[in-house]
Each structure stands twice: as structure tokens, then as C-alpha cells.
């Protein structure tokens, strides 16, 4: 595996490439053209400029997170083929620039849902958190307003103000979309893009829904072992794979994370490994990556990845805000650097134990 860090670009990220380069064991970044909109074609010139900037810092682009999918594709609208054609052109340009991993999601309206961006933990750190009770009390059209004040002046992925300004219209687009229809639309999209993925050896790694259940009545399909196996069987191509995010699948305590990893051998192209602490099955908060700080056995998660021969990029995920850092919630430098070092240590111990 290769340890990486997510980076949003020099115009948007409070963390610099110079800082990332100094984290022991981190050799690549997972990045994106953050100022593009779903459906827009990424030009080779912009992709190359991004590559050159990262290379100049002594790192490389290990993958893209994300090339966002237009809602017309997710809803199966009449104009979806136009946006799929644009997506294919972007994949071609990425392939020509020797980039072979794309993480994406197929979540309606909200890319992820949290009810708090700065819950204070006993140690004084602040974290992202979710309570179903708070969601049930919210008007979905006011969801953005409820968290906007805690974004520390940043633009958070999936919660761009321009997109959130049209939440009512987005809900209307999905009013007739259920789980089955969403699966059909995902299948159509994947079948269209697989030929270009085969040509350029691009691994498509779908990110799970977060949390792993319906929110505001919207369909959620990438939530458990049965559904993810169904997705891979319906488009049975090795380039059709997953981003295994322990924190997203782990929102549902019924998901056995090590077992899921073992069932996905050969189809996990990318991994996000993070920990959650549960106060109840529907009240959870982000924790430090250390096993004892949360609910998950991080050693067993990393061990399962090692045992299936995982060789792709991995990254620590949402970190706590610690040491008075002001950054995009979940994406500061300090706690993610600690997380990367901890995960590398677990991997080293597992690797040496297997010899």
C-alpha cells in the first residue's frame, strides 16, 4: 500500500504540499480540480499543471478524489448521455496524463451528512459528529445553514454554496428515484465508462454513502456488503471497484468491516481508514485514529487489507481539530499526520508479524 493525504489544491487547502512532504511515509496526494463543477470536462492542460505542482514538491498524484458526477446521471435524466460523454473525456485526459485512480460517489443531494462540524470532545479537540435526532428535527432545505458557521471559512466537499442554494430543486429531481432506480442508473453509467477505463487502466473506486442509511428519505445504496457485491456483479469488470472507507461503512454497526474487506479482494482500489466513537447506534463522532479512542479495531482493519494483498493508495481520513489549528473541518494537518503515522506503524507491525 501507499500512504497518501487528501489535498484540495493550493487555492483551497490550508495544508501545503511542503507540510505533507514532511509527514513520514507519505509519498503521494489524493487531489482534485476543486473549482470544477459536476459535468465539466477536465482539460489535459489543467491536469498537467496540477501534476507538475505536486511533483515540484517531491510528491506525486496517487489518485483523484473526486470527479463528481452530474445529477442528470444519477437521476437518469434525458440529458445524462451528454454528461457521461464529458465524464469519459475527463477520464481519457486523466489516462493520457498517467493517472489511474478515480474515487467518486453516487449519493443523492448530500455527499455526506453531519449535524455538527465542531463537537467538543473531553480532550478539548473538536470533531465532526452526527445524531439522527438532530436530522429528524431539521428541514432538509436548512441543512446547509445549520453547519455553515462551522466551516472555518472553507468550502467543504459536497456542500458548495452554489449547489446548496438549489437544494429544493435537487430534492425535486430525486422524488421518483428509489434504491432500484439508483442502481439502474449506476449500472448504466458504469457500462458506458468501462471501455475507457479498460483502455487507460483506470480504476473507478466508488465511495460508500455516509451515513450508511437513508437520510431525509433519499435513496442510499452503497451501504453494506450485499449491496456492494451486487454493484460489482452487475458490472463485472476489475476496474469497477470500491473505496473502502471504514468510517462510512462503519456508521452502521451491523457492518463487519474486516469481513467486508476480505469479501472484496481484488476490488478495493483505494482505502480511507478512520475511527468513530459511538454514543448510541445513531449518535457518533469522529475519533483519533488510535483504536482505543473510538469503536473500531484499527489493527484488524489494517490486517484484513494486508491479508487480501491490498497495494493501492490509503489515507487517514477525517481528523480532529487539535492544537488550535484552524482548517477545513476534518482536514487539518496535525491529526491526519498523526493518523498516517499510526496507520503506517500498524502496517509495519502486521508486515513483520507475517514474515
Q: Is 289 a catalytic residue?
A: no
CB 138 within 8 A of CB 215: no
Q: Which of 83, 249, 331, 342 is catalytic?
A: 331
Identify whether 331 is a catalytic site residue: yes
Q: Residue 94: which residues within 8 A CB-CB, separation 6 or more?
A: 42, 47, 64, 67, 100, 102, 200, 202
Q: 207 an active-site residue? A: yes
Contact 147, 112 (CB under 8 A): no
83 is catalytic: no
Annotated catalytic residue: which of 70, 100, 207, 239? 207
Catalytic residue selected from 70, 100, 239, 245: 245
Catalytic residue among 272, 289, 334, 342, which?
272
Q: Yes or no: say if 124 and 75 are a contact pair by the CB < 8 Å rule.
A: no
**Rounded Cα gap, residues 104 and 15, in angstroms:** 22
CA–CA distances in Å: residue 57 to residues 11, 16, 87, 280, 312: 16, 9, 29, 43, 21
Q: Which distant-in-sequence residues (6+ apart) come within 8 Å of 78 by Cβ?
A: none
Q: To which residue does cell 438532530 refer? A: 134
**Per the residue annotation, which of 239, 269, 289, 318 is the catalytic one?**
318
User: What is the rounded distance in angstroms from the CA atom of residue 226 to the CA atom of residue 341?
Assistant: 33
DSSP alpha helices (H): ranges in the chain?
A: 17-21, 44-56, 71-75, 80-96, 132-136, 143-147, 161-164, 167-173, 179-200, 225-234, 246-249, 257-263, 298-307, 334-353
Exactly one of 200, 317, 334, 342 is catalytic; which is it? Answer: 317
Q: Would you call 239 a catalytic residue per the annotation? A: no
The residues that are catalytic are: 207, 245, 272, 317-318, 331
Amino acid at each position: 500500500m501507499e500512504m497518501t493525504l487528501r489535498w484540495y489544491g493550493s487555492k483551497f487547502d490550508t495544508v501545503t504540499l511542503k507540510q505533507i512532504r514532511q509527514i513520514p511515509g507519505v509519498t503521494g496526494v489524493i487531489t482534485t480540480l476543486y473549482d470544477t463543477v459536476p459535468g465539466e470536462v477536465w482539460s489535459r492542460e489543467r491536469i498537467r499543471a496540477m501534476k507538475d505542482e505536486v511533483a515540484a514538491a517531491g510528491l506525486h498524484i496517487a489518485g483523484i478524489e473526486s470527479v463528481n458526477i452530474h445529477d442528470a446521471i444519477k437521476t437518469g435524466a434525458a440529458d445524462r448521455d451528454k454528461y457521461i460523454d464529458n465524464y469519459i473525456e475527463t477520464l481519457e485526459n486523466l489516462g493520457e496524463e498517467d493517472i489511474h485512480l478515480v474515487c467518486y460517489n453516487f449519493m443523492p443531494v448530500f455527499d455526506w451528512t453531519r449535524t455538527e462540524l465542531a463537537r467538543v470532545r473531553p480532550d478539548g479537540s473538536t470533531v465532526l459528529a452526527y445524531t439522527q435526532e438532530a436530522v429528524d428535527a431539521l428541514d432538509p432545505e436548512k441543512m446547509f445553514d445549520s453547519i455553515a458557521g462551522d466551516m472555518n471559512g472553507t468550502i467543504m466537499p459536497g456542500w458548495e454554496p452554489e449547489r446548496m442554494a438549489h437544494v429544493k430543486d435537487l430534492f425535486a429531481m430525486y422524488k421518483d428515484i428509489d434504491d432500484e432506480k439508483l442502481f439502474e442508473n449506476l449500472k448504466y453509467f458504469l457500462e458506458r465508462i468501462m471501455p475507457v477505463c479498460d483502455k487507460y487502466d483506470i480504476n473507478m473506486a466508488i465511495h460508500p454513502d455516509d451515513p450508511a442509511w437513508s437520510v431525509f428519505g433519499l435513496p442510499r445504496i452503497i451501504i453494506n456488503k450485499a449491496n456492494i457485491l451486487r454493484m460489482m456483479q452487475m458490472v463485472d469488470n476489475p476496474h469497477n471497484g470500491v473505496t473502502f472507507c471504514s468510517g462510512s461503512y462503519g456508521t452502521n454497526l451491523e457492518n463487519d468491516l474486516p469481513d467486508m474487506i476480505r469479501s472484496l479482494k481484488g476490488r478495493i482500489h483505494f482505502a480511507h481508514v478512520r475511527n468513530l466513537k459511538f454514543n448510541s447506534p445513531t449518535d457518533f463522532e469522529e475519533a483519533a485514529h488510535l483504536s482505543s479512542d473510538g469503536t473500531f479495531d484499527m489493527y484488524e482493519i489494517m490486517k484484513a487489507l494486508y491479508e487480501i494483498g491490498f497495494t493501492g493508495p490509503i489515507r487517514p481520513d477525517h481528523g480532529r481539530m487539535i492544537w488550535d489549528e484552524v482548517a477545513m473541518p476534518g482536514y487539518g494537518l496535525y491529526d491526519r499526520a498523526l493518523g498516517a503515522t499510526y496507520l503506517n506503524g500498524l502496517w509495519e507491525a502486521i508486515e513483520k508479524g507475517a514474515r
